Amino acid sequence: MITIKSEREIELMRDAGALTARVLDMLEEEIKPGMTTLRLDELAEQFIRDHNAVPSFLNYVPKGEVGVTPYPATLCVSINEEVVHGVPSAKRIIQDGDIVSVDCGVYKSGYHGDAARTFVMGAVDPEVRLLVERTKECLYLGIAQAVTGNRLHDISAAIEQHARSFGYSVIENMVGHGIGSELHEDPAVPNYGRPHTGVKLRQGMTLAIEPMIALGRSRRAVSKRRAWVAVTEDGKPCSHCEHTIVVRDGEAEILTK
Ligand code: MF3
Ligand code: CO
């Protein structure tokens, strides 16, 4: 069921979204080669708790799945061929030349914010740098479609078309999602699809839009048994970015700017 949020609820989501963005701003300043991904996680958790909020991902259990371990961290930090859900670790040191997707969720006053950015560390291959830039363009082109009068897959199609125009591959088995008092709500927001299809977008729908775009040919992100991290099938790098938005008349409102 897709819920439409009242302006009062959106006000609270603006708060959660703003804090999510501030965590990523802080991490953008701190992140550098030589740092462990666990250190990033500690900084994020402390920052969130200092602002009277709770990390959304910590102890998260995907709905309807049995036997999975609750997510053990505040952030997902996914490097190079890792698409999403990289678990921060004291053993994982960020290297010069890496691209690092940092995904953060914040729960505040009963609502979630969810956002991700991919950071480029030093001497990254120019082709990979372009992938990161264009994935961000995909996100903004998707957001531009999140207006009343359009349908859900207008967002998806805009993302896919831009990615394909460069010969990139769209990860199909990981999707964006509705968001609100739950981290993951209906509808699923795929990063591919046909224009003018899917549910009608309505003012007050809140969505987390998150393109995952890869070099090479991988159409799926795959995980080893019981591992959280999901990687491209061919080991090629993948970029990921995400905003929480509100569908509006005329122009979507970004809550995690
Ligand atoms: N932004 C990701 C998502 O919306 C991160 C979820 S991590 C999890 O799916 F631990 F919460 F699963
Ligand atoms: Co998300």
Ligand 1 contact via 162 beta carbon (within 6 Å): no
Ligand 1 contact via 45 beta carbon (within 6 Å): no
Q: Where are the domains of the chain?
A: 7-60+75-254
Atom of ligand 1 nearest to the CA of 73: 10
DSSP letter for 151, please. B
pLDDT in the model for residue 256: 98
Q: Provide CB contacts within 8 A for 140, sequence distance 6+.
A: none
Q: Is 189 exposed, middle or buried (0-12, 13-18, 19+ CB in 10 A)?
A: buried
pTM listed for this prediction: 0.98
- The answer to whether 144 touches 201, Cβ cutoff 8 Å, is no
Distance 85 CA to ligand 1 centre (A): 7
Instruction: Give the tens place of pLDDT for each residue, 117-172.
Output: 999 999 999 999 999 999 999 999 999 999 999 999 999 999 999 999 999 999 99
pLDDT at residue 78 greater than cutoff 90: yes
Ligand 1 contact via 19 beta carbon (within 6 Å): no
Q: Band of the pLDDT at 238, cuts 50, 70, 90? A: very high
Instruction: Give the tens place of pLDDT for each residue, 81-104.
Output: 999 999 999 999 999 999 999 999
pLDDT in the model for residue 239: 99
Q: Using CA atoms, how far apart are residues 237 and 243, in angstroms rounded to an integer? A: 21
Distance 182 CA to ligand 1 centre (A): 11
pLDDT in the model for residue 92: 98
C-alpha 65, offset from chain centre: 21
Tokens of 97: 């030349």
For domain 7-60+75-254, give the CATH number. Answer: 3.90.230.10
Ligand 1 contact via 60 beta carbon (within 6 Å): yes
User: Among 183, 209, 212, 240, which is best to mutate for testing ligand 1, by the most ligand atoms less than 8 A from CB?
Assistant: 183
Ligand 1 contact via 185 beta carbon (within 6 Å): no
Q: Band of the pLDDT at 43, cuts 50, 70, 90? A: very high
pLDDT in the model for residue 22: 99
CA-closest residue to ligand 1 atom 2: 103
